[in-house]
A and B are shown apart, each in its own frame.
Chain A
């Protein structure tokens, strides 16, 4: 209904219905018109000609062979007075051999010029008398149109000498009748066309409504509302189509559910797994510290032979701890259980504390003024900063420059290193989990989750992190966070409670 394209089904239906109606109406009314016309004209004509013939026999036949002008004139007037009201022209030769005329309406009205030459010739032609033809002269007629008015012109000669008679009868009343008939037929055709268009609309609606519903349902399905179903009514092809659609949607929903369930299961597996790893790891971590203290003790209580082994256990336990911690963090983001714990913090203080806690003060060049406050989750900001700065130190090398500015209520922190930058083909993948720029890269470079976790932490604040190469060389990671994340935090907490 909304869009009437030239190729639309509705338009095509209307056109086809219209053509059918037009053909039917035009042929029906055309035939009716012609039949009627012939009937009307023939009836009028026959009556007129019969009368004319009668008058010719009765009155013109009573004239002498060579009548005078007056006689002809009078007789013509008498003939014209018959019931059929036609004009009469009598042409004869008087005794002097001169051609004389007698016209019913005066000489000016109906003259010999009004009679077509072909008709005159036919009238004057003497026929051979045979078995089937008993008369030497016949009555001929012709229909002519003069100044838009149709006339019947007829003429005949008296057998055995006498004047030639012509008559002219206006067919205007008949033409008027036929005209009004044509008009009515035209109007009927128009009405039929309009009716057919309305019918086509109705038919199109009954066909298109289900099609439209199907379209809407398909669109909803495409938007991910997999529980979309159509109401099936009737047993026609469209109902079949609806049923097929429902089956397809059901299959799709089941498929997606299965996949989601499998995805959920694998996520839960990772979550459970990292959770389970924690318990032994807690015990190991607690004991590892005792080993560590033994290593640090100056007494040298550890056997030099096993010292490297102890060191390895200590350092790898720490790495395992980090990995499990990161895995837990990632599963919390995946499960949507991560929450913001907001506080008002001074950004410069926070960054200083972050780099101080990791003994990076010498390697980091901080460009930030104190007094810039933001409402965010300080622990998550610390995770982001530690990952970005740690990453910059590892891959780019010092000095790492950290700059802070406020851009329209958005906190922008840029971390720029002085390394070789990031290759263009790696750039889109730097935030992918466990993405390694090259297979040969040593695995000790990190858990492979750091930047991914940093991005998730930015996203939960309603912010983002982008990576790019600085035109002056080196990679630049830009963190953007809303200055006040409280509204977002409330929303996510609300939805979390509803979901629980």
Chain B
């Protein structure tokens, strides 16, 4: 934790008082600025007012649930979202990832794990080398951290952007899901490969001309994914 680093501001949306308080306590101790909301509606309101860097979102909320909150945020915003799910039921995870979440943690979550995930997600938006690459009509500008398609800016979440960057760094080379999980999500060897699949689907929807028959981000059976320049 560098001294000069700006303190990340988080929005925690969680309905259970005890969990909210405990997580706020824990995250604050880890060096985050934490704003909290008890419902999805309050959370969306706070989001407009405070512009946090990241949202930690509970799935089971009274009123509109976490998935719906996630979908509403994604309509206008690309800021990172980490889902807090009480159930590691697979349906929940898949729905959460489809609604646009960047990562998820399963309760009871350890503060340290959550902190590590938060930092990993935030790092994805960081700038790196200053060059650009062109793949057909898609231009990836690494210095400006933007991606344009036919000259128009694409709205990518930091995770989607990072995934595209990691793939574009090794064009024509297949990367396994486990490799991508390490590179993009900074997960250990037990990362959930569905994170990669869901993110690739979202990225294809934005980048590809025809998302169902991708020409840019190719699936390599039995291995993972590969970025190709369209022929």
Interface residues, chain A, with chain B CB atoms under 8 Å away: 275, 278-287, 289-290, 293, 321, 324, 328, 332, 337, 339, 341-345, 349-350, 353-354, 357, 375, 378-379, 382
Contact = CB atoms under 8 A, between A and B. Distances in A.
B222 A286 contact: no
Interface centre among B16, B18, B25, B108 (most CB of A within 10 A): B108
A332 B89 contact: yes
6 contacts: A283-B22, A283-B23, A286-B22, A332-B89, A344-B223, A382-B189
A289 to B, nearest CB: 5
A378 B189 contact: yes
B189 A357 contact: yes
A18 to B, nearest CB: 69
A91 B50 CA distance: 159
Given A281-B108, A285-B110, A382-B190, A341 B26 contact: no
Contact of A328 (B26, B88, B192): B88
Q: Rank and list the top 4 A-B pairs by shortest CB-CB distance, nearest first.
A: A283-B18, A353-B189, A286-B22, A282-B108
B231 to A, nearest CB: 27
B137 interface: no
Given A279-B18, A287-B26, A378-B193, 6 more contacts: A279-B16, A282-B107, A321-B108, A343-B177, A350-B189, A379-B192
B25 A287 contact: yes
Interface string B71-96: 00000000000000011111000000
A183 B89 CA distance: 88
B176 interface: yes
Interface in B171-213: 176-178, 188-190, 192-194
B108 A285 contact: yes
Contacts of A284: 22, 108
A282 B19 CA distance: 6
Contacts of B125: none
A357 B190 CA distance: 10
A167 to B, nearest CB: 116
B112 A339 contact: no
A343 B108 contact: no
Interface residues of B, number: 31
A332 B87 CA distance: 10
B111 interface: yes
A345 B90 contact: no
Contacts of A275: 86-87
A332 B86 CA distance: 14
B86 A278 contact: yes
A341 B97 CA distance: 14
Given A345-B178, A379-B190, A289 B19 contact: no
B98 to A, nearest CB: 15
B194 A341 contact: yes
Contacts of A328: 88
B65 to A, nearest CB: 16
Contacts of A279: 16, 18-19, 86, 107
Contacts of A353: 188-190
Contacts of A285: 22, 108-111
A324 B106 CA distance: 13
A283 B19 contact: yes
A236 B90 CA distance: 57
A491 to B, nearest CB: 16
A378 B190 contact: yes
Contacts of B178: 343, 345, 378
Interface in B13-72: 16, 18-19, 21-23, 25-26, 29
Interface in B143-186: 176-178
Nearest to A353: B189
Contacts of B112: 289
Given A275-B87, A289-B112, A341 B193 contact: yes
